[in-house]
Amino acid sequence: MTILDVGLRTPDRSAESIIERCRVLDVKLVTLSAATMPGFKENHSPDLDAMRTLQGRLADAGINIAAMNQWVGPDQRGGPEAAMIENPSAHRREIDGHLRTLEVQGELGINQQLHYIDTPLPADPAKDELYWTNLIEIVGEISSQAEASKVRIGHHGIWRCLTDELRDQAVTDGVTEAEYRQYLRHDQHGHPGWRGPYLVRKADDVGRLADSNPNPYHGITMCTGMYITGAEPVMEIPRFAGRINFVQIRDLDARWPAAREVFPGTGNLDFKEILRQLLRAGYSGFLHPEHLGHPRWPGEDQVLEATKVLKTWVDEVEAEPEFQ
């Protein structure tokens, strides 16, 4: 019996294209982006009736909306970077939109949410605790609504690789993890394409958020990309057992700043052992591959190939005697 289900995460809002993509990938579960759904631009939350219609059309094709994703961050990049986190009370519309998105999910029975915390790390370390205090206040409201709506939230930090150009220069310059705040704050202004540094960037940081409002609906996303900033996923999974509410599969060949995303199975992570640890931790349900590195050949459908590989690993691990 399948316990882990491989699916598709997509920003698409067209029923026809979602159905076709799921057919190509041979998957039945999808995660949709709240920000691309009808109504979000106007209200910072998806329109319930439009979502119900989309859900029905997908269901007719045998496809289930397993989860949605949304972001807490710098005003959806529409305003000053730190505006929301420095003054939450001035951003009630966005925060209320987050709460309404959870209400919509609850009404539709979409009971998982991938929750990105895209909050900048302040240049001045003296501001760190202000940022954390305000973030935990916002997350407290979100946690309470998640519990009321019976939607399991998985907080996701931002452990992003440098661009190729920036990474090569950082390695040449001998940049270390200790320079994360200063180097990237400077880089962000001098090199377009990098949006760091980030406040929630380590496994301990998502753990701090989960601990701030403990309830069964408030947990973490086990994104194996946390390897970038120092975590070992096979060690973190037992630590967060019972609080893993979403899973993403990403492979890396090094730590920050040298980290590069590569096709699953070609980097440093042991994904069969990661899957075993997820099963031992009691996780079931949705997972998907992401951030697959550069195409290995011209025209490669990386998502298709990675989905095939991940499904094979799931089948092989679930067939092991331990999990029968």
Within 8 A by CB and 6+ apart from 324, the residues are none
Lowest mean pLDDT across 25-34, 74-83, 172-181, 293-302: 74-83
Query: What is the per-residue burial (b if ≥16 Cβ within 10 Å, else e) of 159-196?
Result: bbbbeeebbeebeeeebeeeebbebbbebbeeeeebbb
H-run or E-run covering 11 = none
Cα angle for residues 92, 93, 98 (degrees, 5° grid)? 95
Residue 294 counted as domain residue: yes
Residue 124 counted as domain residue: yes
H-run or E-run covering 129 = helix 128-149
Cα–Cα distance for residue pair 249/285, rounded to 1 Å: 14
Residue 14's alpha-carbon distances to 37, 41, 80, 114, in angstroms, are: 9, 16, 31, 20
Residue 151 counted as domain residue: yes
Q: What total of structural domains would you count in the chain?
A: 1
Strand partners, 70: 115
Cα–Cα distance for residue pair 5/249, rounded to 1 Å: 13
**Full residue range of the structural domain in which residue 44 is found:** 4-160+198-319
Does the pLDDT at position 76 exceed 50? no
Residue 181 counted as domain residue: no
Please report, as a single letter, which amino acid is at residue 64: N
Residue identified by tokens 């949709």 is 32
Residue 165 pLDDT: 86
Residue 81 pLDDT: 64
Would you state the structure tokens that stand for residue 232, as one six-digit string? 């070992």
Residue 37 counted as domain residue: yes
If you count them, how many residues does the chain have? 324
Does the pLDDT at position 191 exceed 80? no
Cα–Cα distance for residue pair 314/172, rounded to 1 Å: 39
Residue 55 pLDDT: 98
What 8-state DSSP symbol labels residue 215?
B
Please report, as a single letter, which amino acid is at residue 277: Q
CB count within 10 Å of CB 315 equals 12
Would you state the structure tokens that stand for residue 171, as one six-digit string? 């390695």
Residue 39 counted as domain residue: yes
- pLDDT interval class at 84 (50, 70, 90): confident
Q: What is the mean pLDDT of residues 247-259?
A: 97
Query: Are the CB atoms for 289 and 303 separated by under 8 Å?
Result: yes
Residue 77 pLDDT: 43
- pLDDT interval class at 75 (50, 70, 90): very low
Residue 74 pLDDT: 56
pLDDT, tens digit, for every residue of 160-169?
999 898 899 8
DSSP characters over 73-104: SSGGGTS-TTHHHH-GGGGHHHHHHHHHHHHH
H-run or E-run covering 6 = strand 4-6
- pLDDT interval class at 73 (50, 70, 90): confident
> Mean of the per-residue pLDDT values for the chain?
93
Percentage of residues in the chain with pLDDT exceeding 70?
Answer: 94
Residue 192 counted as domain residue: no
pLDDT, tens digit, for every residue of 222-243?
999 999 999 999 999 999 999 9
User: pTM of the full predicted structure?
Assistant: 0.94
pLDDT, tens digit, for every residue of 48-72?
999 999 999 999 999 999 999 998 8
Cα–Cα distance for residue pair 9/40, rounded to 1 Å: 18
**CATH assignment of the domain containing 31:** 3.20.20.150
Does the pLDDT at position 120 exceed 80? yes
